[in-house]
DNA sequence: GAAAGTTGATATTTATAAATACCAACAACA
DNA sequence: TGTTGTTGGTATTTATAAATATCAACTTTC
């Protein structure tokens, strides 16, 4: 990983500075998290922190809500269509017991994944979570499979 | 096609009886059409008529809006993720010039498709339009490719 | 050819999603 | 150790998407 990428994914912003930079309230950030749109880094003390990449992701989400007029539940449903099983190479056997594969309306990273290849993964660091925060990228992925 | 399917896809309901059956207003039906969620049959006189299958589709849409809280633009975006190119076997060459393939946020059946395999198709009769009115089915299709 | 229904278009209402405000308890950091 | 910020709640406000109401011109139907 290059220096640039490290700083990009390094959680360095507190919730209040993230909110300030995004021009939204602290509560809104926690709301997005509760809805499963974002997975901020958490210290042992349970305090959240946000990377530059988190801010980019949040800008996409804000854009979807405010410009594209897609509701939060709409965004969740769109995320739930990401073919995560392709991205992480999830074996057929695992899929049967995976809520992300079988569920509807919620992104895979909002579930636990017992007995799957994702079991011990940290979703915050997963390609599925990181690469497809933009709706456009979801379609590109579907095209590529 | 069996007798049952004929009656199922036969446009027999006027806009007002469709509205009554769905318990919504006539204008709402026209609004859904303007947004590209539905493609009702039209007589030469420009009057709309609706089949039982149209009503089923509309029930799905109503459910997405009222129960799942997905906004109309959200539904449009979800429809736009249907891999239509797979369903209709759209040749690589055609895809480059197809707005449905390259566009974002609008279902393929809201575009014209000059120079593609869909050029002379009536979208109302297309598998892409007919089979995936439910969000759940969209995910099933993505899984199958 | 009169009544009933439909068209598209605009103007208005309503229902509610998204965001804000406020809270007491706890954590971080000078 | 006092100040500043964070936590997870609930209660409230606001912005607006979705639906309704009206309209005159046009079809259909009997």
Per-window interface: A 91-110 vs B, CB < 8 A: 101, 104-105
Euclidean distance between CA atoms A113 and A120, whole angstroms: 8
Would you say residue B3 has pLDDT above 70? no
- Is B68 in Cβ contact with A105 (below 8 Å)? yes
How far off is chain B from A75, nearest CA to CA, in Å?
A: 7
| Mean pLDDT taken over chain B | 90
pLDDT for res A38: 95
Where does the pLDDT of residue B26 fall: very low under 50, low under 70, confident under 90, or very high at 90 and above? very high
| Average pLDDT of span A20-26 | 92
- Is A139 in Cβ contact with B104 (below 8 Å)? yes
pLDDT for res A6: 60
Residue with tokens 């390094």: A10
CA of B107 to C1' of C14 (A): 29
| Mean pLDDT taken over chain A | 91
Would you say residue A132 has pLDDT above 90? no
CA of B73 to C1' of D14 (A): 21
Residues 33-52 of B with CB under 7 A from strand D: 43-45, 47
| Average pLDDT of span A32-50 | 91
pLDDT for res A81: 95
Would you say residue B97 has pLDDT above 90? yes
Percentage of the residues of chain A whose pLDDT score is greater than 70: 95
CB contact at 8 A, A24 and A16: no
Give kind and range of the element (H or E) at residue A15: helix A15-22
Percentage of the residues of chain B whose pLDDT score is greater than 90: 80
Per-window interface: A 117-136 vs B, CB < 8 A: 135-136
Name the residue facing A70 among B73, B85, B139 (closest C-beta). B73
- Is B68 in Cβ contact with A70 (below 8 Å)? no
Interval A115-129: pLDDT, tens: 999 998 999 999 999
pLDDT for res B9: 84
Q: What residues contact B42, with CB distance under 8 A and at least 6 apart?
A: B48, B49
Euclidean distance between CA atoms B49 and B129, whole angstroms: 17
Where does the pLDDT of residue B6 fall: very low under 50, low under 70, confident under 90, or very high at 90 and above? low
CA angle B15, B18, B19 (to 5 degrees): 85
Where does the pLDDT of residue B89 fall: very low under 50, low under 70, confident under 90, or very high at 90 and above? very high
Where does the pLDDT of residue B139 fall: very low under 50, low under 70, confident under 90, or very high at 90 and above? very high
Tokens standing for residue A107: 């992104």
Residue B30 exposed, middle or buried by CB count within 10 Å (0-12, 13-18, 19+): middle
pTM above 0.85, yes or no: yes
Give kind and range of the element (H or E) at residue B76: helix B72-80
Where do the domains of chain A lie? 1-69, 72-145
Where does the pLDDT of residue B15 fall: very low under 50, low under 70, confident under 90, or very high at 90 and above? very high
Interval A44-61: pLDDT, tens: 888 899 999 999 999 999
CA of B31 to C1' of C4 (A): 23
Is B80 part of the contact surface with chain A (CB cutoff 8 Å)? yes
CA of A34 to C1' of C26 (A): 20
CB contacts of B75 in chain A (<8 Å) are: 74
Q: What residues contact B75, with CB distance under 8 A and at least 6 apart?
A: A74, B37, B61, B64, B65, B135
pLDDT for res A145: 83
What fold is seen in the domain B1-69? Multidrug-efflux Transporter Regulator; Chain: A; Domain 2 (1.10.1660)
| Average pLDDT of span A120-140 | 88
How far off is chain A from B4, nearest CA to CA, in Å?
A: 30
pLDDT for res A136: 74
Give kind and range of the element (H or E) at residue B32: helix B26-35
| Average pLDDT of span A76-101 | 95
């Amino acid at each position: 990983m290059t220096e640039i990428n490290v700083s990009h994914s390094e959680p360095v912003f507190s919730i209040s500075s993230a909110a300030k930079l995004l021009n939204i309230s602290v509560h809104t950030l926690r709301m997005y998290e509760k809805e499963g749109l974002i997975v901020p880094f958490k210290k042992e003390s349970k305090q959240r922190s946000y990377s530059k990449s988190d801010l980019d992701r949040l800008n996409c989400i804000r854009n979807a809500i405010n410009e594209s007029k897609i509701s939060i539940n709409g965004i969740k449903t769109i995320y739930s269509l990401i073919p995560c099983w392709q991205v992480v190479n999830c074996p057929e056997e695992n899929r049967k017991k995976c809520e992300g594969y079988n569920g509807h309306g919620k992104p895979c990273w909002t579930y636990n994944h017992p007995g799957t290849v994702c079991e011990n993964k940290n979703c915050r660091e997963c390609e599925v979570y990181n690469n497809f925060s933009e709706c456009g990228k979801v379609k590109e992925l579907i095209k590529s499979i």
